[in-house]
Structure 1
Amino acid sequence: MIRGKQIEISADLESDSIILNDIQPYHDELESKITEVLCYNPRNLSREEAALESSLGNFYADVCLKSADSIFYEKTGRHIDFALFNYGGIRTAIPKGSVMVEHIFKLMPFENKLVVAQLSGRKVAELFDYLAMREQAHPIAGLHLELKDKEFSKIEIQGKVFDPNKNYWVLTHDYLQHGGDNMSFFTEPLELFISDYKVRDALIDNLRKVDTLHSSLDNRFSKNN
């Protein structure tokens, strides 16, 4: 017979000094890492700044594209055409003031890794249909989009008009590439490059190199009423 006992977790529960002593060094090491100051942020950044883009989303996508493109070019000799991530993947704002590692862990608490998918023009068209229907500030980079009445009046990729007969290299992360957030157009790539570089690490590494976090709206995704 197996017997069990329910132990209520509350402030009255006594701590175990032996266990606490064992884990204290790990606690102190983790505390020092997550409180590391990366740079200064001059204003609060959130994903709700505007209807179709945000300074936070632009920063997120731009950093990931720059970081991943360097790796991708070194490995393949090719460049990434554009990047797309999901609005829901940005979990919190970055407050004004000193930006610590902890803020980036809260912003991106997942272990998602950057991947580059080669998509056919047809699949890229499905991607744009998705953006048109959702009308959310999904983080994008390398794109200039103008939307009118649920249809795009302008689609430019790296400054060139979208060609539905061309294949494109698109940066995202592994969760979305597997169809997360209903992004099914990512699930059948012509080719797939999987990196070991986490989104969170790309953001942290970038912020370590700058004194101040600079990001703004630039109308990369706008709507004409």
Structure 2
Amino acid sequence: MNQINIQFLNGQMIGLNFAHIFMTDNLEEDPAVANLIQHYSDQIDDKMKEVVGHTLTDLDGERQTVRLKESNLANAIADSLIELTGADIALQNGGGVRASIAKGDVTLEDIYAVLPFDNTVVMVEASGQTIWDALEHGVSSYPEAAGGFLQVSGLQYTFDAAKPSGSRIVEVLVDGQPIDKTKKYKVATNDFLTGGGDKFDMLKNETTQLLKTKHFLRDAFTEYLENHNTINPQLEKRIQILNP
């Protein structure tokens, strides 16, 4: 906790300073402060229980799913990135999806549990080769449940788990056609990946930023649910694994 002191002269601020106030159990509780905190805590609790949409099926965000194979929940999250940005494709790291959602009402509390990190949505321009390289990196640790395993929208990819790391991707399709490695695509993703997180250096160094939003991933997914009201995402063979 900080205390800020602001100095004024003739109605104009002329300076400020601050100091840390260390909170310990030895400090006597101020009832007024406790009541104020409880007031806002109750408001936050009420807000988090708001229903923002509905799902007709269980949404699978379990670690052993999102980091190893296609997830219907991650599909919907990736779809929300395309809907927000108008991108051609979307890439979402499985490690950013942290919980499942049961069939029925979906609340803000559910969405915060699924997407707890403050990663913002960005759109970059990337070549087909860079996208291929990103997908290759995403499956490099398989069958280890690595956070960099990529969930997708707008494309399908197939990899052969029996091949050595670095040469596992065997096919990438965009609109049902083989990806053009020389073509530039608009890619919606998050600033963790474009910042080189999980060693996705190609998304940091070999792309051009087109859009940096102020939307966190959970904001994009919340708006997606609000816009559609009811969703029923399925497994669509976006990710196919040979020799698992």
The interval holding the TM-score normalised by the smaller chain is 0.7 to 0.9
Q: 1:57 touches 1:138 (CA, 8 Å); kept in 2?
A: no
Q: Does 1:109 align with 2:121?
A: no
- Equivalent position to 1:200, from 218, 221, 235: 218
Cα distance change on mapping 1:38 and 1:8 into 2, 3 Å:
same
State how far apart, in whole Å, the 2-side matches of 1:218 and 1:14 are.
58
Letter in 1 for 2:241: K
Q: 1:60 touches 1:139 (CA, 8 Å); kept in 2?
A: no
- Equivalent position to 2:157, from 145, 148, 158: 145
User: Unpaired segments of 5 or more residues in structure 2?
Assistant: 1-21
User: 1 or 2, which has the higher strand percentage?
Assistant: 2
Q: Cα RMSD between the aligned structures?
A: 2.5
Q: 1:82 touches 1:158 (CA, 8 Å); kept in 2?
A: no
Q: CA deviation at 1:8?
A: 4.6
State how far apart, in whole Å, the 1-side matches of 2:65 and 2:196 are.
27
Q: CA deviation at 1:62?
A: 1.0
Matches within 5 A, 1:77-88: 80-88=87-95
Matches within 5 A, 1:36-185: 36-47=50-61, 48-49=64-65, 51-69=68-86, 80-135=87-142, 138-148=150-160, 149-150=162-163, 151-185=168-202
Q: 1:45 touches 1:95 (CA, 8 Å); kept in 2?
A: yes
Q: Secondary structure at the match of 1:165?
A: coil
User: Unpaired segments of 5 or more residues in structure 1?
Assistant: 70-79
Which position in structure 2 is the counterpart of 1:76? none
Q: CA deviation at 1:44?
A: 2.9
Q: CA deviation at 1:86?
A: 0.6
Q: Secondary structure at the match of 1:102?
A: helix
State how far apart, in whole Å, the 1-side matches of 2:187 and 2:238 are.
16
Q: Secondary structure at the match of 1:169?
A: strand
State how far apart, in whole Å, the 1-side matches of 2:30 and 2:105 are.
35
Q: Work out the percentage of aligned pairs sharing the same amino acid.
A: 28
Letter in 2 for 1:89: G
Q: Does 1:224 align with 2:236?
A: no
Which position in structure 1 is the counterpart of 2:34? 20
Q: State TM-score, norm by structure 2.
A: 0.75
Q: State TM-score, norm by structure 1.
A: 0.81
Cα distance change on mapping 1:216 and 1:8 into 2, 3 Å:
same
Q: CA deviation at 1:35?
A: 0.8
Which position in structure 1 is the counterpart of 2:208? 191
Q: State the number of aligned residues.
A: 209
State how far apart, in whole Å, the 2-side matches of 1:27 and 1:132 are.
42
Q: CA deviation at 1:167?
A: 2.1
Q: 1:115 touches 1:171 (CA, 8 Å); kept in 2?
A: yes
Q: CA deviation at 1:173?
A: 0.6
State how far apart, in whole Å, the 1-side matches of 2:106 and 2:231 are.
9
Letter in 1 for 2:120: K
